[in-house]
Structure 1
Amino acid sequence: MRFLAFDLGAESGRAIVGTLRDGRVTLDEVYRFPNEPVRVLDNLYWDALRLFHEIKKGLLLAVARYGRDIQSIGIDTWGVDFALLGEKDILLSNPYHYRDSRTQGVMEEAFKRVPQDKIFYRTGIQFMPINSLYQLLAYRLQQPSLLAQAKAFLMMPDLFNFFLTGQKASEFTIATTTQMYDPRSGDWARELLTSLELPSSILPEIHPPGTILGTLLPQVAKETGAREVPVIAPASHDTASAVAAVPAQMPDYLYISSGTWSLVGVEVPEPVINQDTLRLNFTNEGGVAGTFRLLKNVVGLWLVQECRRAFERQGEILDYTTLTQMAREARPLVSLVDPDHPSFLNPEDMPAAIQKFCQETGQPVPQSKGEIIRCALESLALKYRWVLDKLEEILRKRLHVIHIVGGGTKNELLCQFTADATNRPVLAGPVEATAMGNLLIQAMALKQVNSLAELREIVRNSCELKVYEPQDTSAWEEAYRKFVGFL
Structure 2
Amino acid sequence: MEKREGDFCSIAVDMGAGSIRVMLATLRDNAFSLEEIHRFDNEIRVQDGRDTWDMDYISREIVSGISKAIEVSELVPESVGVDTWGVDFVLLDRNGDLVETPVAYRDKRTEGMQEKWKKIMPKQETFSRTGINFYIFNTLFQLLSAKDSKALQRTSKILFVPCYINYLLSGRMVNELTIASTSQMLAVEGGEWDEMILEKLDLDVEKLGKVVQPGTILGPLLLPETGEKRIECVAVCGHDTACVVAALPVENPNFTYISAGTWCIVGVESTRPLISEEALKLGFTNERGYGNSYRSLKNIVGLWLLQGLKKQLAADISFSQMEEMVQGSGETSQVIDPDDPGFYNPENMKEAFDRYFEKTRQPLPVRFKDYIRCAYDSLCFSFRYHIEQLEKLSQNSIEVLHLVGGGSQSDYLCQRIASIC
TM-score by length of 1: 0.82
Aligned amino acid, residue 167 of structure 2: F
Q: Does 1:17 align with 2:30?
A: no
Which residue of structure 1 aligns with residue 58 of structure 2? 51
Which residue of structure 2 aligns with residue 280 of structure 1? 282
Aligned-pair CA distance for 1:67? 6.0
Which residue of structure 1 aligns with residue 388 of structure 2? 389
Aligned amino acid, residue 94 of structure 2: E
Aligned-pair CA distance for 1:332? 2.0
Which has the higher mean CA deviation after the structures are superposed, 367-376 or 61-70? 61-70
Aligned-pair CA distance for 1:392? 0.7
Aligned-pair CA distance for 1:331? 5.0
Q: 1:22 to 1:191 in 2, by over 3 A?
A: farther
Among residues 29, 34, 54, which one is paired with 1:27 in the alignment?
34
Q: Does 1:373 align with 2:375?
A: no
Aligned-pair CA distance for 1:327? 2.3
**Alpha carbons 1:328, 1:370 under 8 Å: kept:** no
**Alpha carbons 2:216, 2:234 under 8 Å: kept:** yes
Which has the higher mean CA deviation after the structures are superposed, 274-283 or 402-411? 274-283
For residues 421 and 10 of structure 1, what CA distance do their matches in structure 2 show?
28
**Alpha carbons 1:329, 1:370 under 8 Å: kept:** no
Q: Percent identity?
A: 38
Aligned-pair CA distance for 1:193? 1.5
Among residues 223, 239, 262, which one is paired with 2:241 in the alignment?
239
Among residues 175, 178, 182, which one is paired with 1:177 in the alignment?
182
Which structure shows the bigger proportion of residues in helix conformation?
Answer: 1
**Alpha carbons 1:152, 1:204 under 8 Å: kept:** yes
- What secondary structure sits across from 1:26 in the alignment? strand
Aligned amino acid, residue 48 of structure 2: L
Which residue of structure 2 aligns with residue 459 of structure 1? none
For residues 33 and 63 of structure 1, what CA distance do their matches in structure 2 show?
18
**Alpha carbons 2:242, 2:288 under 8 Å: kept:** yes
Which residue of structure 2 aligns with residue 204 of structure 1? 209
For residues 226 and 96 of structure 1, what CA distance do their matches in structure 2 show?
37
Q: 1:129 to 1:306 in 2, by over 3 A?
A: same
Q: Does 1:221 align with 2:248?
A: no
Aligned-pair CA distance for 1:68? 5.5
Which residue of structure 1 aligns with residue 142 of structure 2? 135
Aligned-pair CA distance for 1:191? 1.1
Q: List per-residue Cα deviations over 1:411-455 (Å, max 9, x = no partner).
A: 122222222222xxxxxxxxxxxxxxxxxxxxxxxxxxxxxxxxx
Aligned-pair CA distance for 1:137? 0.8
Aligned amino acid, residue 238 of structure 1: D
Which residue of structure 2 aligns with residue 188 of structure 1? 193
Q: Does 1:311 align with 2:313?
A: yes
Which residue of structure 1 aligns with residue 82 of structure 2? 75
Aligned-pair CA distance for 1:183? 2.3
Which residue of structure 1 aligns with residue 157 of structure 2? 152
Which residue of structure 2 aligns with residue 5 of structure 1? 12
- What secondary structure sits across from 1:19 in the alignment? strand
**Alpha carbons 1:68, 1:226 under 8 Å: kept:** no
- What secondary structure sits across from 2:266 in the alignment? strand
For residues 108 and 24 of structure 1, what CA distance do their matches in structure 2 show?
53
Which residue of structure 2 aligns with residue 362 of structure 1? 361
- What secondary structure sits across from 2:296 in the alignment? strand
Unpaired runs of 5+ residues, structure 2, are 1-7
For residues 60 and 396 of structure 1, what CA distance do their matches in structure 2 show?
48
**Alpha carbons 2:24, 2:69 under 8 Å: kept:** yes
Which residue of structure 2 aligns with residue 344 of structure 1? 343
Among residues 101, 115, 118, which one is paired with 2:122 in the alignment?
115
Which has the higher mean CA deviation after the structures are superposed, 328-337 or 96-105? 328-337
**Alpha carbons 2:133, 2:280 under 8 Å: kept:** yes
Which residue of structure 1 aligns with residue 266 of structure 2? 264
* Superposition misfits of 4+ residues, deviation over 4 angstroms: none
**Alpha carbons 1:162, 1:168 under 8 Å: kept:** yes
**Alpha carbons 1:175, 1:206 under 8 Å: kept:** yes
Aligned-pair CA distance for 1:295? 0.6
Which residue of structure 1 aligns with residue 420 of structure 2? 421
- What secondary structure sits across from 1:69 in the alignment? coil
Which residue of structure 2 aligns with residue 439 of structure 1? none
For residues 321 and 278 of structure 1, what CA distance do their matches in structure 2 show?
37
Aligned-pair CA distance for 1:103? 0.7
For residues 176 and 22 of structure 1, what CA distance do their matches in structure 2 show?
38
Which residue of structure 1 aligns with residue 3 of structure 2? none
- What secondary structure sits across from 1:95 in the alignment? coil
Q: 1:354 to 1:24 in 2, by over 3 A?
A: farther
For residues 185 and 211 of structure 1, what CA distance do their matches in structure 2 show?
16
**Alpha carbons 1:221, 1:228 under 8 Å: kept:** no
- What secondary structure sits across from 2:159 in the alignment? strand
- What secondary structure sits across from 2:234 in the alignment? strand
For residues 242 and 307 of structure 1, what CA distance do their matches in structure 2 show?
27
Between Structure 1 and Structure 2, how many residues are aligned? 414
- What secondary structure sits across from 2:147 in the alignment? helix
Aligned-pair CA distance for 1:326? 1.4
- What secondary structure sits across from 2:415 in the alignment? helix
Aligned 1:398-417 pairs, distance under 5 A:
398-417=397-416
Q: List per-residue Cα deviations over 1:289-335 (Å, max 9, x = no partner).
A: 121101111111111112122235xxx41111001111225452200
Q: Which structure's relative contact order is higher, taking Cα pairs within 8 Å and 6+ residues apart? A: 1
Q: Does 1:64 align with 2:63?
A: no
For residues 34 and 376 of structure 1, what CA distance do their matches in structure 2 show?
24
**Alpha carbons 2:147, 2:201 under 8 Å: kept:** no
**Alpha carbons 1:263, 1:296 under 8 Å: kept:** yes
- What secondary structure sits across from 2:95 in the alignment? helix
Aligned amino acid, residue 116 of structure 1: K
**Alpha carbons 1:323, 1:369 under 8 Å: kept:** no
TM-score by length of 2: 0.95
Aligned-pair CA distance for 1:355? 2.0
**Alpha carbons 1:14, 1:32 under 8 Å: kept:** yes
Aligned amino acid, residue 37 of structure 2: V
For residues 24 and 266 of structure 1, what CA distance do their matches in structure 2 show?
30
Q: Does 1:324 align with 2:323?
A: yes
Aligned amino acid, residue 11 of structure 2: L
- What secondary structure sits across from 1:29 in the alignment? strand
For residues 330 and 419 of structure 2, what CA distance do their matches in structure 1 show?
16
Among residues 300, 303, 325, which one is paired with 2:302 in the alignment?
300
Q: 1:146 to 1:107 in 2, by over 3 A?
A: same
